[in-house]
Structure 1
């Protein structure tokens, strides 16, 4: 499916203006929508390609700049030592409730779009996986995908490094998909087991996959990229989103009449 990826919206949040990058199918019609959280580097080229892939499968995708309070709009951090240091610094400078209000702002925006069916999902990578986990606590979120979500087991997201994500896990009412790399040093076995045990304790509806992969194996840039694992992960992701969010409408006729896609 052809896509449009040039749209940018600046949203008002309690902590200031936040830019979100929008990707959607080019064909007219209504589509389900995904709030997609980036890594600590914000909306990089690999993140844009991931969002484009989602949009090409029939979703409206919004990628917010998670550090909008601290960096000029449009800032992208480099995949180098300086970018890593800055991203990790900001990760624990921003209060947790600011991450939550950002998520609410994007979800409200997506619901308000005339081309959205109102069915919402979230996904995220690295810190974005943790942010997607928290965003899934919003009751309108039907499905969430978390790729190697960092810091949930350590409760170390945000200012003060004392988040309550595990305590609030029972608020997740949609279906959750966790994907991990066993060779990821950021989330060791004991950390993964802690998260899984909590999901079992609160009765979350979830699917859990652990691959022999490193942290960032989905990022199609750099030495840790694993194309085979990425393809398998995409199959899992799309199965969940298609099943829980549906296909939306697709205008198939030149006269403007809508036809359901099956």
Structure 2
């Protein structure tokens, strides 16, 4: 299993992505949708972890239209300021075009079995929801997605499985937003919501200040089972 940088061509141009393949060289695909810190070591390690579980994982640079190659952390105020500035400039409507281009690219990679899903965190959690509503992803997972209630009118377009992990004490997703997500999505047969009542935003980010290993393990176990059920043929 070795990671490498690749290039993907979308409707608006070419952008970079990080690719990790399993040791076997074959498997279903998973598109990893970044947090507001770009394609950094956290996202690359997520790809590597998915590859170790038998998936071909690709993390596209969703900020390329604003600033290509963003790779920062949450460890300094300057980096945090930059991350939130990038999030403010980011357009989910054009971003989802790049997600679809990435899904298309992964399906054509040597060794891909054909089925391709997606997983996203924070900003990527919102993009995961939109991926389920607007693309042909075969199965999608979102962790502590922000601003999802603004797009609940698109829930009817979700035709394939979606799982969302919700942090109960998320500073960016207040209780009323979480309630709206449950009201809008609980009745949907393709959507599963999991609540983590005592956890804060980014509870699954290793090294993050809100990291909770127990909740992260639970969420990741649910995610892995979900992908194995919906993306693997055996």
Sort the TM-score into its range (normalised by shorter chain): over 0.9
Matches within 5 A, 1:62-211: 62-73=58-69, 75-79=70-74, 80-138=76-134, 140-153=136-149, 155=150, 165-200=151-186, 203-211=188-196
Pick the structure with more helix per residue. Answer: 2
The answer to whether the 8 Å contact 1:22/1:60 transfers is yes
Q: SS of the counterpart of 2:138?
A: strand
- The match for 2:11 is 14
Q: Distance in 2 between matches of 1:148 and 1:207?
A: 13
SS at match of 2:201: coil
Q: Secondary structure at the match of 1:119?
A: strand
* Kept in 1: contact 2:202–2:208 (CA 8 A): no
Equivalent residues of 1:36, 1:132 under 8 A apart: no
Deviations along 1:31-64, one digit per CA (max 9) or x if unpaired, are 1000110110012222222221111111001101
Select between 133-142 and 99-108 the one with higher mean Cα deviation. Answer: 133-142
TM-score (norm 2): 0.92
Deviates more, 1:79-88 or 1:58-67: 79-88
State the match for 2:2 in structure 1.
4
Conservation of the 8 A alpha-carbon contact between 1:170 and 1:204:
no
Distance in 1, Cα, partners of 2:136 & 2:93:
18
Moved over 6 A (4+): none
- For 2:56, the equivalent position in structure 1 comes to 60
Q: TM-score, normalised by structure 1?
A: 0.83
Please tell me whether Structure 1 or Structure 2 has the larger radius of gyration of its CA atoms.
1
In structure 2, the residue matched to 1:256 is none
Q: Is the 8 A contact 1:177 1:208 kept in 2?
A: yes
1:210-256: per-residue Cα shift (whole Å, max 9, x none)? Answer: 11211111111132111111111111001100000116xxxxxxxxx
Taking the aligned partners of 1:69 and 1:151, their CA distance within structure 2 comes to: 21
| Equivalent position to 1:230, from 216, 221, 224 | 216
Structure 2: state its 5+ residue gaps.
none
- Give the aligned CA root-mean-square deviation in angstroms: 1.6
